[in-house]
Chains A and B, each alone.
Chain A
Amino acid sequence: MHLDHQVTDPERHTHSAPATRADGSRRALRIGLGGPVGSGKTATVAALCRALRDRLSLAVVTNDIYTSEDAAFLLREAVLPPERISAVETGACPHTAIRDDISANLEAVEDLEEAVGPLDLVLVESGGDNLTATFSQGLIDAQIFVIDVAGGDDIPRKGGPGVSTADLLVINKTDLAPYVGSDLEGMARDAKAQRGELPVIFQSLRSEAGVGPVADWAREQLAAWTGGAAPAA
């Protein structure tokens, strides 16, 4: 059982990621996005950037497994200027880079802040990995676990650290449910059983609502982090 869901607790302080900058101001909120290969992490990051970039100062760190495809995609889509996107290499072990040895990611975040800061929000995308891959609290303040309906509707039932402890579970590609025969109500029930009160958002980036609900959640996290009101949409 994960004992620290209040990861945006303003009092939280670790050696690796103190909550304040050297000058005493509050550093950028760091949100991690993890989940299996192809579930829609990069697409969600791109959509979040489009939804939030007008009001917030953003940057993205990607963790590709053996290419810089995710960073290249974000650059191609021009969701942010290139100097706000940084790619970390993970030596074939994406979970190591976000959990067991976070030093390269911490450096990427700090370099972004130094180069283009002050930043409000840094999104850190993990390389696609298995259901046990979660971010270290030394690296991020809140984490989103992204799964999709096409990867098997039994994934919420199987649980695991990502599904059961992430601050937000996103069940993506709901538009595909009819084609792959996924039982969305069953997934919602299983997720509830695994997660209790922790939030779950069903998302289709192909639909009208798109990333809207996840963007709202991110704004709430940021409001709690900075201790002020949520920035207007």
Chain B
Amino acid sequence: MSGSAALLVLADGRFPAGGHAHSGGAEGAVKAGRLRGAGDLEHFCRGRLHTAGLTAAGLAAAAAAGHDPLALDEAADARTPSPALRRTARRLGRQMMRAARATWPSPALDELAAARPKGAHQPVVLGLAARSAGLTPLDAAYAAAYENISGPATAVVRLLSLDPFDATAVLARLAPETEQVAQTAARAADGPVEALPAASAPLLDLVAESHATWPVRLFAS
């Protein structure tokens, strides 16, 4: 069965799963002066895509492939050194769970929701949602990888009043790399959970920790 239309629903930036309130570390990078325009946005997104994006895509693909979601949730914890980002991932996972159970209800989602009432890691829930929607592991990896860069791009339009055409052009230029990352992640999902991608970006982790303590900020992360 072709699930392309369901993938569009899942990957739509307006899918009501809480992402709009998060910048994927872009707010911290803007404040630190490292992200000042469309050129920087491309570097930022490329870095995210090949690190946090690849890791998230691997977890999502593995969940869609039918790996045990609780084992994947632990694997996600192990791949997320920043406590602030673990909290964020679980909060967004809970929000994704609510949206997924409303859109593609399934016993597997119900079970994970019961086992992790305060939220499992978002990529795991995303992958399970994809599975419930009849999508493939590769589809889930696409959704996770794309969301990893589309979230910051949207946030930077708000943070810097960046030209929205420039921001969207960045996403388009990164499309071939997004495809590669999704394919790598989907291939890894054929193997054991331990061997899933574990790339991380130390600066994103550090900035997330300090961002979480700011009294005044536009985005939750």
B113 contacts across to A, CB distance below 8 A: none
Interface segment, one of B36-44, B173-181, B212-220: B212-220
For A, the interface residue count at a CB cutoff of 8 angstroms equals 20
Most buried by B among A65, A90, A91: A91
Task: Tally inter-chain residue pairs, CB-CB below 8 A.
Answer: 62
Of A68, A92, A104, which is within 8 A of B219 by CB?
A: A92
Contact with B along A91-114 (1 / 0, CB 8 A): 111001100111110110000000
A100 contacts across to B, CB distance below 8 A: 14, 16, 20
Asked if A66 and B217 sit within 8 Å, CB to CB, the answer is: yes
Classify the interface of chain A: helix, strand, loop or mixed: loop
A89 contacts across to B, CB distance below 8 A: 21, 217, 219-220
B interface residue count range (under 10 / 10 to 19 / 20 to 34 / 35 or more): 20 to 34
Across the interface, name the chain B residue whose C-beta is closest to A66.
B218
B216 contacts across to A, CB distance below 8 A: 66-67
Asked if A107 and B102 sit within 8 Å, CB to CB, the answer is: no
> 8 Å CB contacts to A: which residues of B1-49?
14, 16-23
Closest chain-B Cβ to A205's Cβ sits at a distance in Å of 27
Q: Using CB atoms and an 8 Å cutoff, list the residues of chain A in contact with chain B.
A: 15-16, 65-68, 89-93, 96-97, 100-104, 106-107
Q: List 7 A-B residue pairs with CB atoms under 8 Å apart, sorted by A's residue number.
A: A91-B20, A91-B23, A91-B218, A92-B218, A92-B219, A104-B91, A107-B94
Known: A91-B23, A103-B18, A103-B94. 14 other contacts (CB 8 A): A16-B98, A89-B21, A89-B220, A91-B21, A91-B22, A91-B219, A97-B20, A97-B21, A100-B14, A101-B16, A103-B17, A103-B98, A106-B98, A107-B94
